[in-house]
Amino acid sequence: MKSDTIKKGISRVGNRALLYATGVCSRDMQKPFIGIASSFSDLVPGHIHMRGLERAIENGVYSGGGRPFIFGVPAICDGIAMGHAGMRYSLASRELIADEIETMAGAYSLDGLVLLTNCDKITPGMLMASARVNIPTIVVTAGPMLTGHYKGKRLDLVHDAFEAVGRYKKGEITKHDLDELEINACPGAGSCQGLFTANTMNCLTETMGMSLPGCATSLAVSSRKARIAFDSGERIVELVKKNIRPRQIINKKSIYNAIMVDMALGGSTNTVLHLAAIAKEAGVKLPLDTFNRISRKTPKICDLRPSGEYFLEDLEIAGGIPAVLNRLKEELNDNPTVSGASIKSIARSAKVYDEDVIRPLDDPYKEEGGIAILKGNIAPEGAVVKQGGVSESAMTFTGKAKVFDSEEAAMAAILNKKIKKGDVLVIRYEGPNGGPGMREMLSPTSAIVGMGLSDDVALITDGRFSGGTHGPCIGHISPEASKGGPIAIIKNNDRINIDIKKRRINLDLTKKEISQRLKKWQQPKPKVTAGWLSRYAKAVSSASKGAVLEA
């Protein structure tokens, strides 16, 4: 066992003495040492119930014949960090999480890992770590939140809290309604109820085979989730004994499957960043155009919030990810999973229990998948749009630019009703380097939707969008403004043409005019000059490469 490095031999008397101090007994020295990386936090709704899941995993590890050790990793709730400088830390934390798990697994020569995660950047950070350290690993995602309720309607965070701000400013709802939505939208533990980044990544984790079947959609408050946690603890010991490692599971085939399921579900655009980063750690080349290729031939068969009307609890009742895999079974690459069953065998044995929540391939909600990659003179390296959340009328959009050099400036203009039909908001200097940290723009996009402008105003940015975003919103524009990308030289009233079907985004200027403006452009001073974010900004790559650290 790998852990023999710290527990076997006469030279390890001191090491063993310290292990005994933790409560380890002599019998444990013969067992696999299993690290449980827990992202428990009292600050994250999706993680507040993890203490119980930690116990279930521990019990499973003991039952399987291993010795568990819990250690913590940081956890950021994007919703709480949204709309202010705190969001700069979210994407950056993905790298910290991967580094911390690598550090703990390496320092303690752990034999295996159980990764307890749920929200936003924590799941991709843990998957990156699993591919990097490449010791037997299983992921437990802690489950989606129940829907809220108010006046007989089901609620979710984005539609009924973030977007409610715009509806209130428009005069559609009263202050009393706004207060009631605020307190009722999120009724308790779990990742937010729609197909936002957290739930999208959890679904793709199961699709890639890194968590047990049913894990992604089993509800946070369910006993089923506790049983899956226990089974995962037992299973990791078996994975250690058989030496089944993440890179046998996370490979070109499983990443292709994950993109396909992402397209079928209509998931968050953040997955483009995260799958690219996970692929890099697994040694898999993943060109950005792969997303377009798969999207063109994969219909969107689910209609989940934010752009649809169903919730994650509906997907769970309809059969979960195994049922989605069943719809796609003929197109899937077969591949092993941590459960011991192949992904195709899981797909074949699954059933769909609601034909509208998970539609047949010949009766989809949309003919193409949920995400598209756009290119053009604004985004030579690419940009990302959640086309599954864009109405047919807004798939092509031409308008005049309204340019803002920060999210805060754009948000003030929206709430002060300075944005009109036909405008294209340009929010720049919010990329991985310039932000730094590539902030999500859920507050501006939600305000636009809430004010009834979702089909009449476009938004483009070198920042990111939450999984909760819908409408003609194009993010990840690369190269970013702070690196001298063409988005940096857009001026107010410049004409911008967006054609999602043709995968194009262009500034209505000649090459000569763009070149002349770029020659005059001057790089601004960094927004952050000290601390972790300053170091992050210097090392982070373009969004087109997954915004990974290159130094």
Count of alpha carbons within 13 angstroms of residue 119, beta-carbon side: 30
295 tagged catalytic: no
CA-to-CA distance for 317 and 217, rounded, in angstroms?
A: 9
495-499 and 396-404 strand pairing: antiparallel
Q: Which of 50, 80, 76 is nearest to 141 (CA)?
A: 50
Catalytic residue among 466, 482, 542, 544: 466
Give the long-range contacts of residues 402-410, CB within 8 A, separation 24 or more: 402/426, 402/492, 403/428, 403/490, 403/491, 403/492, 404/428, 405/429, 406/430, 407/83, 407/439, 407/441, 407/443, 407/444, 407/463, 410/441, 410/444
458-461 and 372-374 strand pairing: unpaired
Q: Which residues contact 214 (CB under 8 A, 6 or more apart)?
A: 206, 224, 228, 320, 321, 322
33-38 and 112-117 strand pairing: parallel
CA-to-CA distance for 167 and 178, rounded, in angstroms?
A: 9
In sequence order, the β-bridge partners of residue 495 are 400
CA-to-CA distance for 95 and 82, rounded, in angstroms?
A: 19
Prior bond to 444 cis, omega within 30?
A: no
What Rg, from alpha-carbon coordinates, does the chain have? Answer: 23
CA distances from 156 to 176, 252, 290 (A): 18, 34, 32
CA distances from 498 to 252, 307, 377, 456 (A): 31, 20, 11, 13
34: part of which helix (H) or strand (E)?
strand 33-38
Q: Which residues contact 460 (CB under 8 A, 6 or more apart)?
A: 378, 383, 424, 425, 426, 427, 473, 474, 475, 477, 487, 496, 498, 505
CA-to-CA distance for 140 and 123, rounded, in angstroms?
A: 9
402: part of which helix (H) or strand (E)?
strand 396-404
In 447-499, beta strands by DSSP E:
458-461, 473-478, 495-499
CA-to-CA distance for 431 and 439, rounded, in angstroms?
A: 7
- 10 Å CB burial of residue 44 (0-12, 13-18, 19+) is buried
CA-to-CA distance for 393 and 384, rounded, in angstroms?
A: 19
Contact predicate 471/449, CB 8 Å? yes
CA-to-CA distance for 346 and 214, rounded, in angstroms?
A: 10
* DSSP secondary structure letter of residue 464: B
Question: In 212-288, which residue ranges form alpha helices assigned H by DSSP?
Answer: 223-242, 246-249, 252-265, 270-281
Tell me which residues are annotated as active site. 466
